[in-house]
Structure 1
Amino acid sequence: MTLTQARPGIDLVIPTYNRRAMLPAALDSVRAQTLPVSRIIVVDDGSTDGTVEWLRGLAARDDRLVLVENRHGGANRARNAGIAEARAQWVAFLDSDDAWEPEKLERQFALLADRPDLVALFCGFRLVGANVEMIHRPRDNPSLLDLRCANALGSTSGAVVRRDVLDKAGGFDPGLPSCQDWDLWFRLRRFGPMGVVRLPLVRFNCGPHERITTSMDKVLSGHRAIFANLLADVDRAGERARIAAQHKLVEADIKRRFGENTAAFGLVARSFLQAPSKRALAVAWRTARGIWRDRARREARAA
């Protein structure tokens, strides 16, 4: 029996808020899967742009689509509402402005043939924006230490998780202002290994549309909260120093994404002095390029 014939039970959770223009492409990518999902649970988070009305009409014509209507409470409350609605053995996630490659689920579930103990499945992704296209390939089965140092697995759109393990881990923490996915991946890893297909099977759109988290202060606040949680039960001084150094690099990348390249470079330097690493050199190079671009723009405006 092939994997497609066996058809593991998969419920998909899509949180959405005012994404009427982008949601159709996300849903089309789900319908195009070579391994179909059992149900598509779309949780509307109080949209005001016609999204929920469009979804009601769609749900009336599509038996697989389940619409959950919530008051506006944020993406992770919406994801948890979708998890509560899920009945299948596995729960997949997709943000409403992202899209899957057609073979995404089939390639992920093929991992289970040799590794039936996997508790979660992830994949690579392609980050696409107006001026950028980048491929990220997570490492297979990162350790707890890897996940203490960084979100080594990426965003929710690549994740498929066993429902029983999601229940044990407690779902997404809506109390965190950001980094809720990273927090959940770390908690899930305590329950077993995680498999990664390193191919870019998710298209992660980073455009002018508003994402869930757009404030640097909010992102940094979430990162610092999770850093405190991840460091709380680490006793060895050397390990604490390594983790702290890696978190400085995470903060540097956050500041760099928001255009604060000089401040980011200072964090990179402090990280390297605390615990030298190849990752610090890579972040330093990206940050230096940002500083050079900023300088070139200033000189062009002054000319």
Structure 2
Amino acid sequence: MAAGSTVTAGAECRVDPSTRLATWPAALPHVTVVIPAWNMGRYIARSIASALAQTWPALDVLVVDDGSTDDTRAIAEEIAARDPRVSVHSFPNGGVARARNRGTELARGTWVAFLDADDLWHPAKIEKQLTALQVHPPEEGWVGCYTLFRMVDEHDQVIASGYGAGKRGSFFYDHLLVNHVGNGSSLLVLREAALEVGGFDPSYAEAGIGGSEDFDFQLRLLMRYKLEYVPEYLVGYRLHAAQMSADQTRMALGHIAVVERFVHAAQLDGRQAQFALVAANRNAVAAFARSGDWTNVRRAARKLWGDDRSAALMFAADRLSFAARRGLARLGHRWGSHARLSTRSWPFAECDPLPGILPDGRQARPGSPLYPAPLDSPQGPLAEDEVEEADEDEA
């Protein structure tokens, strides 16, 4: 497939170094933003607004109402009545995978960008992604681009930054070990490529382990194609009780199922398969523990021990170290020697998307919640359960 057929021939862009934005010619690649929505009346207006505020002009927004029983559809239709770029399509509830697939099929853009109905985008997200993709020869198979993300609360306040580094190109196996894309609101992809790999798989939700459909979709793309990334925090990933990813047990079981599927699909050799399964079960143990699911903790720990005893021992030592650090951090906070990130208001819209820059323009301390360690470093990404223990001297 001609991956770059969407970009107008000879369409060169100029990037302004002061703004890091591009100037494009009149004929632009068209992007459809697909927003799957189920009972997100509290947040969907903000999500649609962040899509409409994009600096990329050739863009429309397609809301897929997945059988909502609240005011989600009414809010989206009210916005659509005021802005012709927005359309709303309603279906019986079928889950987020089917909703995304329906949006992809209905999309009129050559590029599709997925935005969950409770998440936010920085205004320059789409423009910076297409600018990054413009430099790659289309025949080499570059079909998508993702960005870094920040976690936000129910009031759009930044809780912490996500991973501090990413991979580009063909990184299927690296992605199988660690999810570099991070969430479903990050990826911009060629519609043709999304359809070619089969879209999002609804079978996980049908099996009661939904939540890893994004990971599965990304791996299927990476088995055939390449992904670019923009090393800036351009997505606001919302944390709240109603979101699917709040169910740690279901997410962990889904993640293990995805890894097992692709270990088989990619016909990995014994050592590669073992590493992938060890990584999946190691992460699952931590997720099960966070949700208090001790039955699955024991099951995953036994599997981890059976697959690789040295990895199991290293994981146990890492968890003990983390528990000790968290305990010390809590004591420090109680004694007033550690400032908390939550004591400051950090609106997502006011944060500079560049890593290491605080909303007030100062440099963030490496390793802190707003400037986490790189994804491929020995200590790994800043986990959500580690946010509360962070020692912040910039808050």
TM-score by shorter chain over 0.5: yes
Change (3 A) 1:276 1:150: same
Match of 2:19 in 1: none
3-state SS of 2:92 partner? coil
3-state SS of 1:44 partner? strand
Alpha-carbon distance between aligned partners in 1 of 2:316 and 2:163, rounded to the nearest angstrom:
18
Cα deviation digits, residues 57-90 of structure 1 (max 9, x gap)? 2222221111110111111111111011012110
Match of 2:171 in 1: 143
Change (3 A) 1:43 1:37: farther
Match of 1:128 in 2: 152
Maintained 8 Å contact 1:268/1:283: no
Q: How far 1:33 moved relative to its partner?
A: 1.1
Match of 2:131 in 1: 110
Q: How does 1:270-281 map to 2 (within 5 A)?
A: 270=305, 273-275=309-311
Maintained 8 Å contact 2:249/2:291: no
Structure with the larger helix share: 1
Match of 2:319 in 1: 284
Q: How far 1:36 moved relative to its partner?
A: 3.1
Maintained 8 Å contact 2:110/2:192: yes
Change (3 A) 1:15 1:37: farther
Cα deviation digits, residues 27-53 of structure 1 (max 9, x gap)? 121122111352100001111111212
Aligned residue type for 2:100: R
Maintained 8 Å contact 2:256/2:277: no
Match of 2:272 in 1: 239
Alpha-carbon distance between aligned partners in 2 of 1:102 and 1:285, rounded to the nearest angstrom:
41
Alpha-carbon distance between aligned partners in 1 of 2:317 and 2:29, rounded to the nearest angstrom:
40
**Does 1:199 find its partner at 2:227?**
no
Maintained 8 Å contact 2:39/2:72: yes
3-state SS of 2:180 partner? coil
Match of 2:256 in 1: 224
Q: How far 1:252 moved relative to its partner?
A: 2.8
Change (3 A) 1:272 1:138: farther
Q: How far 1:286 moved relative to its partner?
A: 7.8
Cα deviation digits, residues 160-213 of structure 1 (max 9, x gap)? 0011111110000011123110101011012221001111110111024x0134
Aligned match for 1:5, one of 21, 24, 27: 24
Q: How does 1:4-23 map to 2 (within 5 A)?
A: 4-6=23-25, 7-23=28-44
3-state SS of 1:158 partner? coil
Change (3 A) 1:175 1:269: closer
How much identity, in percent, do the aligned residues show?
28
Alpha-carbon distance between aligned partners in 1 of 2:235 and 2:106, rounded to the nearest angstrom:
24
Alpha-carbon distance between aligned partners in 2 of 1:257 and 1:193, rounded to the nearest angstrom:
34
**TM-score normalised over the length of structure 1:** 0.84
- Two-structure CA RMSD over aligned residues (Å): 3.2
Q: Which runs of 5+ in 2 are unaligned?
A: 1-11, 14-21, 205-209, 332-395
Aligned match for 2:73, one of 48, 52, 56: 52
Maintained 8 Å contact 1:125/1:201: yes
Aligned residue type for 1:228: E
Alpha-carbon distance between aligned partners in 1 of 2:176 and 2:71, rounded to the nearest angstrom:
40
Larger radius of gyration: 2
Maintained 8 Å contact 2:301/2:312: no
**TM-score normalised over the length of structure 2:** 0.66
Alpha-carbon distance between aligned partners in 1 of 2:62 and 2:272, rounded to the nearest angstrom:
41
Match of 2:46 in 1: 25
Alpha-carbon distance between aligned partners in 1 of 2:313 and 2:104, rounded to the nearest angstrom:
38
Aligned residue type for 2:24: Q
**Does 1:92 find its partner at 2:119?**
no
Aligned length: 293
Cα deviation digits, residues 78-106 of structure 1 (max 9, x gap)? 11110110121100010111100111111
Maintained 8 Å contact 1:256/1:290: no
Change (3 A) 1:282 1:178: farther
Alpha-carbon distance between aligned partners in 2 of 1:221 and 1:156, rounded to the nearest angstrom:
18
Match of 1:301 in 2: none
Alpha-carbon distance between aligned partners in 2 of 1:212 and 1:47, rounded to the nearest angstrom:
15
